[in-house]
Amino acid sequence: MIAIIAVSVVTIGTLGLGTWAVRFARTTSDLFVASRAITPWWNAAAVSGEYLSAASFLGIAGLAMKMGMDAIWLSVGFSAGYLTLLLFVAAPLRRFGSFTISDFVEARLGSPQMRLLAAAIVLGIAGFYLVPQLKGAGITLREVTGAPYWVGVVVVGAIVAVNVSLGGMRGITYVQAVQFWIKTFAIALPACLLLIYLGGLPHKSALFGADVPRAPADGLVVKLDSPRTVTFPRPTVFRENGVLHRARAGEKVELAAGKLSLPAGAAVPLSSGVERGPGVVWSRPVGHGGRDGPLFVYSLLIATVLGTMGLPHILVRFYTNPDGPAARRTTVRVLGLLGLFYLFPTVYGLLGRVLAGGLYVTGETDSVVLRLPHLAWPGVPGNLLSALTAAGAFAAFLSTASGLLVSIAGTLSYDVWGRVRRSGAISARARRARFRLGAVLGIIVPALLALAAGGLDIGLLVGWAFALAASTFCPMFLLGIWWSGLTARGAATGMIAGATVASVGIFAGLIAGDNVNGALGALLAQPAVVSVPIAFLTMTSVSLLDPSARPDPEPLMLALHAPEGLGLEQLEPASADSRDPAPV
């Protein structure tokens, strides 16, 4: 009940702020990019707020509980991505003055056809990224109200579509900044209070030693809404719908839907995909090979460290900085803010292993952040804290999904529609109508995918969006900004090659499932370590061999790298002007 109220407050607050802000969104440029005069701290909180998604709030802890401590490399990579963005992209991109990735691609490479390719990749990345947000919404609403999974997907999808088509981005800058602090408070406070209440980490043998997760002192009852195959790590006596059974160590048992009861201290049976080893194996940040070995860790780091700069909803935020140095200052502050947030998902992963054993039976560890507080601290305090994490999770989907949908709607309404149907100059009103239609269309496909993807881990889904971004836009930005020799043909070939290799890896991994192990399994689970170098190599070599005439690099380099204050910064590439709105 408390949780429902907390979630409603966050949702209504977001909608209210968005609606309030719409009164200020007088021109189309307000809808696309908020006014550029926002201070670095507001901007940094807004970037972080938009960035911290269901993957950060729920997914890292869930994956850590399921697969072990190798999942916390996700925290590291999600944060480190902003360092590469700072070093190579933030200031030049802001100076270049394009509004979106598609604008940059067209202006830098001097080829309007590139815009459609970039638009297709933007839609792929943003769509991939929206699916786990909606999945998070589905499981959160189920935790809070007991409603079926699809209800949350539909409700949050509708809220986000309405919010985006009414408010656009101006409203969302301040909403996003506030959402960052809601999320940080909502994950930090319960983590700290739980650690104090429990007096540190309990049952360390199951975490770091020779033991496995066990049922608590009053036994463990798990409700299964569908049959599950589980593995018993130790010999165990259990009741399935009241009937007594016995399982040997390592035995696979098909459990029927209904009620599973374990006596106090019994080893918890594990769903497929859960790390089977004792604490000493579970807590290794780097395993001995296979799916959690060094190859997987490096591939994950490459995807996240290089993928952040290719996320369309994040990059667009950097244009709200007034100039290049402000873009740098914003990014440094983002590193600080994210560093604070990412300390906490690990705590939930650790506590979840010993206190939320029931999730191992169902395999739905993504809900550990929501469920842990009231399992660890029975009574009112635990319920209050669970309500807080549910509210934070809602803030996470609303903010990230809104940002993604703004990118999707902008891409659909401007890049795709604008190119496919050339109708000459259109009124600002018609432009806004297209944007709103784009927002509605842009939520439908990801929502349908989210309904189908209920069994996939949020952390893995988001890892794929990063792999795609790292294999396409990352090499395009790095080479496009720092190497004047990049040609349109080279960039197109490289992005297509990277996207193809990454997608083939991901889909092959999806089909093969847990059947492939070892190095190949690691590569299919996260293909970035292969696809990123392929994209870079293709882009460079095709550019070098490209016989077509290159545009004169000097004006481009000037626009990318010349410092402000020389009267040069007003000179933006011609294509960016084409989008400048007429005041309404």
The verdict on 239 binding other proteins (CB under 8 A) reads no
The verdict on 565 binding other proteins (CB under 8 A) reads yes
Residues 30-69 touching other proteins, rule: CB under 8 A, are 69
Q: Using CB under 8 A, pick the residue from 4, 237, 511, 571 that binds other proteins.
A: 571
Neighbour-count burial of 447, counting CB atoms closer than 10 A to its CB (0-12 exposed, 13-18 middle, 19+ buried): buried
C-alpha distances in angstroms, 411 versus 251, 438, 480, 495?
52, 8, 21, 18
Quick note: the x/- pattern for other proteins over 182-221, rule CB under 8 A, is: ------------------xx--x---x-------------
3-state secondary structure 501-554: HHHHHHHHHHHHHHHCCHHHHHHHHCCHHHHHHHHHHHHHHHHHHCCCCCCCHH
Q: State which amino acid sits at residue 391.
A: A
Place of tokens 């009267």: 567
The verdict on 286 binding other proteins (CB under 8 A) reads yes
State how far the Cα of 28 lies from the Cα of 434, in Å rounded to an integer.
11
- The piece of 77-85, 128-136, 175-183, 497-505 that touches other proteins (CB under 8 A) is 77-85
Q: Nearest approach, Cβ of 476 to other proteins (angstroms)?
A: 17
Q: Which of 412, 336, 346 is nearest to 161 (CA)?
A: 412
Instruction: Give the containing element (helix H, strand E) for 224.
Output: strand 220-224
Q: Are the C-beta atoms of residues 393 and 370 closer than 8 Å to each other?
A: yes
Q: Which of 126, 125, 89, 82 is nearest to 471 (CA)?
A: 125
Q: Are the C-beta atoms of residues 286 and 297 closer than 8 Å to each other?
A: yes
Instruction: Give the containing element (helix H, strand E) for 246.
Output: strand 243-247
| DSSP state for residue 582 in the 8-state scheme | P
The verdict on 259 binding other proteins (CB under 8 A) reads no
Q: Using CB under 8 A, pick the residue from 82, 96, 377, 466 that binds other proteins.
A: 82
- The piece of 18-26, 28-36, 146-154, 555-563 that touches other proteins (CB under 8 A) is 555-563
Q: State which amino acid sits at residue 112.
A: P
The verdict on 80 binding other proteins (CB under 8 A) reads yes
Nearer to other proteins, 58 or 69 (CB): 69
Phi, psi of 456 (to 5 degrees): -95, 145
Specify which residues 254 forms β-bridges with.
229
The verdict on 566 binding other proteins (CB under 8 A) reads yes
| DSSP state for residue 214 in the 8-state scheme | B
- The piece of 29-37, 48-56, 258-266, 295-303 that touches other proteins (CB under 8 A) is 295-303
The verdict on 250 binding other proteins (CB under 8 A) reads no
**Number of residues assigned to the chain:** 584
The verdict on 525 binding other proteins (CB under 8 A) reads no
Q: Using CB under 8 A, pick the residue from 31, 122, 268, 338 that binds other proteins.
A: 338
- The piece of 21-29, 72-80, 396-404, 413-421 that touches other proteins (CB under 8 A) is 72-80
State how far the Cα of 329 lies from the Cα of 134, in Å rounded to an integer.
32
Nearer to other proteins, 227 or 485 (CB): 485
The verdict on 21 binding other proteins (CB under 8 A) reads no
Q: Using CB under 8 A, pick the residue from 10, 137, 301, 522 that binds other proteins.
A: 301
Report how many residues bind other proteins under the rule CB under 8 A: 60
| DSSP state for residue 267 in the 8-state scheme | B
Residues 454-493 touching other proteins, rule: CB under 8 A, are 482
The verdict on 417 binding other proteins (CB under 8 A) reads no
Q: Are the C-beta atoms of residues 245 and 197 closer than 8 Å to each other?
A: no
Binding site for other proteins (CB under 8 A): 69, 72-73, 75-76, 79-80, 82-84, 86-88, 91, 200-201, 204, 208, 280, 283-286, 288, 293-294, 297-298, 301, 305, 324-325, 328-329, 331-332, 335-336, 338-340, 342-343, 346, 350, 482, 552, 554-555, 557-559, 561-563, 565-568, 571
